[in-house]
Chains A and B, each alone.
Chain A
């Protein structure tokens, strides 16, 4: 009798796994499988467009939560979250004095998940201001601004200002009493500067009072100008971290 050796049938799990991860379409997106050797893991980080912000290796202490408390990362995460929820809010919001407030009410009552989006956007905005301030404190108290990281600290201060401005310009958009008067008080402070104060205030709010032109200016700055600037400075910030040899560590 001749016995032919039949290939062992493979377990179901393996076959499902193969069907999902080893098919032609998947492979066209992710060229290699799960990186399970150190070499492949480093390649996975270095060759992926999103992950390659990271180095491939990192010092042991920097993975400890208590070293950074994830605060810089949290600021960035919140920036991304604000972009997403912000875009969704833009679908429903028209920055005109006639519509702005009514649109806010509609977002809250008529739009499915509108209230959730608005709440997320608001709380993340407050969270980002807090996170950036605390990130600055962590960088200071870990002495991470010392050479060669001086300039990245300066970039950080610019990011802090941009974060505050982003939040401030957003404050006007609901066009309720709180926003109108908060912006009036805030821009009056600008107006009180010697010599250049009044002209600056005039340019900022496009008139003598916070009105229709202030709304459109703040809106444009809030959704285009400032986010773009912030993105540019964040790019520089992250790039510098890499160029400065990763996070600071004891000599």
Chain B
């Protein structure tokens, strides 16, 4: 078959591969067809049972004049909605998901090793890599969310017996991401960089004028910092693991990155689903009230 010639060109291991041994094979009828049939029956039964027990929600008729608080997207997009709270909407809503999907699709083109395919976590160090990716991804995301929610300020207040408002003014810029923009004395001219009227002189070409007035601190907070976290931290993790000799092969790095991605994805989804209440503020999930409109 075509594939075996293609694979054979790549690895001596493949060249040595013996022809499929017939003893290792089962007949699809009955062995596989039977398993498929049984699973289809089981899943039909369990979904029917679920549907008898739990009704799908139907709220009041849609009313554009009433905005429920919080208004949330479906759960599998709440990860993006959570991101949206921390960065520029274009980044959270479009660029990050696009880049993430492209990176996901590119995995097989980075890691082209052939060893240990078709077995669960069979490469050496696979479990370690999964654990590292999962732990770093989860803990890192939680810490970042807490920081942007000013929870370190709350913690400091609790520990030292102060009030939250007493956080030293000098450290105000450390309250959360936005405070880097608002609580640092940026030169006023940085807040309005008239690219439109000074640099991008489209009007000279007879085109409409571009109204581009760049607010540098805002760009820093909404775009530069989030991007450097999202790109830099995963790269840093891989770099550290590589220098320490913990991750050795591309498959190792792929496992760390993929596990980290899944962990971040899940943490963001859980945070957006269970820990965001009125005004999309952080709450303990037992304090999160259902949306009111």
Contacts and interface: CB of A to CB of B under 8 A. Distances in A.
Contact of B90 (A157, A176, A193, A247): A193
A206 interface: no
B3 A189 contact: no
Interface residues of B, number: 92
A44 interface: yes
Contacts of A54: 28, 32-33
A251 B71 contact: no
Interface in A129-168: 129, 137, 140-150, 153-154, 157, 160-161, 164, 167-168
B13 A143 contact: no
Interface string A30-57: 0000010010011011000001001111
A20 B156 CA distance: 80
B146 interface: no
A147 B56 contact: no
Contacts of A149: 108
Interface stretch (A9-17, A116-124, A218-226, A229-237): A116-124
B29 A44 contact: yes
B45 to A, nearest CB: 12
A119 B104 CA distance: 32
Nearest to B9: A147
Nearest to B13: A251
Contacts of A160: 101
A248 interface: yes
A96 interface: no
Contacts, number: 249
Nearest to A194: B90
B51 A251 contact: no
B35 A65 contact: yes
A189 to B, nearest CB: 3
B7 A153 contact: no
A83 to B, nearest CB: 14
Secondary structure of the A contact surface, majority rule: helix
Secondary structure of the B contact surface, majority rule: helix
Given A177-B59, A189-B93, A45 B33 contact: yes
Interface in A50-76: 51, 54-61, 63, 65-67, 70, 73-74
Interface stretch (B36-44, B168-176, B196-204): B36-44
A178 B273 CA distance: 14
Nearest to B53: A119
B230 interface: no
Interface string B24-62: 111111111101100110011001101110111111111
A64 to B, nearest CB: 9
Contact of B114 (A119, A146, A161): A146
Given A77-B39, A147-B112, 20 more contacts: A38-B27, A42-B27, A51-B33, A57-B25, A63-B26, A70-B35, A115-B55, A120-B51, A123-B50, A140-B107, A146-B112, A147-B10, A154-B105, A178-B59, A179-B62, A180-B64, A181-B71, A185-B72, A189-B80, A251-B115
Interface of B: 1-4, 6-7, 10-11, 13-14, 17, 20, 22, 24-33, 35-36, 39-40, 43-44, 47-48, 50-52, 54-64, 66-68, 71-77, 80-81, 84, 88-90, 92-95, 101, 104-105, 107-109, 111-123, 126, 130, 251, 255, 258, 262, 291, 293
